[in-house]
């Protein structure tokens, strides 16, 4: 972890859909330059936490603070303008557009600052050289792993304080999973802060510093990734099972 103070602080968050809460009194934080994983079985509320940070699910109770700013009541477009950005599950690219057009869409709020947009684009291409080679290719013609790279790159183009990734390893080949994991570790080395939703403990332990386990909308366990890497995660396996 680098710097001081958390870049993301979630306190007593309760939120859901319709009349029902899916997430109950969740407390978690991500330090500056830290990568944190949120693990749990399907339906545990992991994605709902990410959606709440992005303002896509309105929190009923609690607070969400990013970089010292309470974003709990901000609209999504304000949150996405430098506070937080998400690489969603399923990638959700505009497949008829080129790789570069998809990337530039992530920097819409910076469109008047062309030098900054070009610098961000260069940093994405440095992280994923294959995307530079394919920058004019329609995203529909990329592999699943390459599409995930575009989704991560588009998130980076908004230059956010916190990066949110929802199941980045899902439906990828083992080789693509390793490429994505190495890219996330490279982002950490650049000083990026990440909150990663995952079901694969091995990927989370490889990339992250700390792990939270969410079950039935509640945090039931927190541990260092080092413990998980040592195989000391029987409780995590129990909760995921």
* CA–CA dist 69, 227 (Å, integer): 32
Q: State the Cα–Cα distance between residues 150 and 171, nearest whole angstrom.
A: 15
The reported pLDDT for the residue numbered 89 is 85
Sorted by where each starts, the structural domains of the chain and their CATH numbers stand as 1-83+162-241 (3.40.50.300), 89-159 (no CATH)
In this prediction the pTM is 0.92
DSSP string, 46-83: HHHHHHHHTTSS-EEEEEEEETTEE-TT--HHHHTTTT
3-class DSSP assignment, residue 197: strand
Q: How far is the C-alpha of 82 from the C-alpha of 77, rounded, in Å? A: 10
Query: For each of the chain's 241 residues, which pLDDT tens digit applies?
Result: 344 679 999 999 999 998 889 999 999 999 999 999 999 998 999 999 999 999 999 888 999 999 999 999 999 999 999 999 999 987 889 999 999 999 999 999 998 999 999 999 999 999 999 999 999 999 999 999 999 999 999 999 999 999 999 999 988 899 999 999 999 999 999 999 999 999 888 899 999 999 999 999 999 999 998 887 776 555 566 556 5
| C-alpha–C-alpha distance, residues 9 and 64, integer Å | 6
On whether the CB atoms of residues 108 and 87 are closer than 8 A, the answer is no
Per-residue confidence (pLDDT) for residue 48, from 0 to 100: 96
Strands lying side by side in the sheet with 194-198: 84-87, 162-166, 194-198, 35-39, 210-215, 218-224
7 close to 162: Cβ distance less than 8 angstroms = yes
Q: What is the pLDDT of residue 236?
A: 60
CB-CB contact of 151 with 91 (8 Å): yes
Q: What is the gyration radius of the CA atoms in the chain, in angstroms?
A: 17
């Amino acid at each position: 972890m680098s710097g001081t103070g958390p870049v993301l602080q979630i306190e007593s968050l309760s939120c859901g859909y319709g009349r029902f809460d899916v997430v109950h009194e969740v407390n978690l934080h991500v330090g500056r330059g830290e990568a944190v994983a949120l693990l749990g079985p399907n339906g545990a509320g992991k994605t709902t936490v990410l959606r709440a940070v992005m303002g896509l699910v309105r929190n009923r109770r609690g607070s969400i603070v990013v970089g010292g700013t309470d974003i709990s009541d901000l609209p999504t477009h304000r949150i996405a303008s430098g506070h937080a950005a998400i690489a969603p599950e399923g990638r959700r690219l505009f497949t008829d557009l080129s790789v570069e057009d998809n990337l530039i869409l992530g920097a819409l709020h910076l469109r008047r600052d062309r030098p900054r947009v070009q610098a961000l684009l260069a940093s994405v291409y440095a992280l994923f050289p294959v995307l530079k080679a394919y920058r004019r290719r329609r995203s529909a013609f990329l592999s699943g792993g390459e599409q995930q790279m575009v989704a991560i790159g588009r998130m980076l183009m908004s230059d956010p304080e916190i990066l949110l990734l929802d199941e980045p390893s899902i439906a990828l080949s083992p080789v693509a999973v390793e490429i994505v994991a190495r890219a996330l570790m490279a982002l950490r080395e650049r000083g990026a802060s990440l909150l990663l939703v995952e079901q694969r403990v091995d990927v989370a332990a490889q990339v992250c510093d700390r792990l939270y386990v969410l079950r039935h909308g509640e945090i039931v366990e927190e541990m260092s990734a080092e413990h998980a890497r040592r195989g000391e995660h029987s409780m995590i396996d129990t909760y995921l099972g």
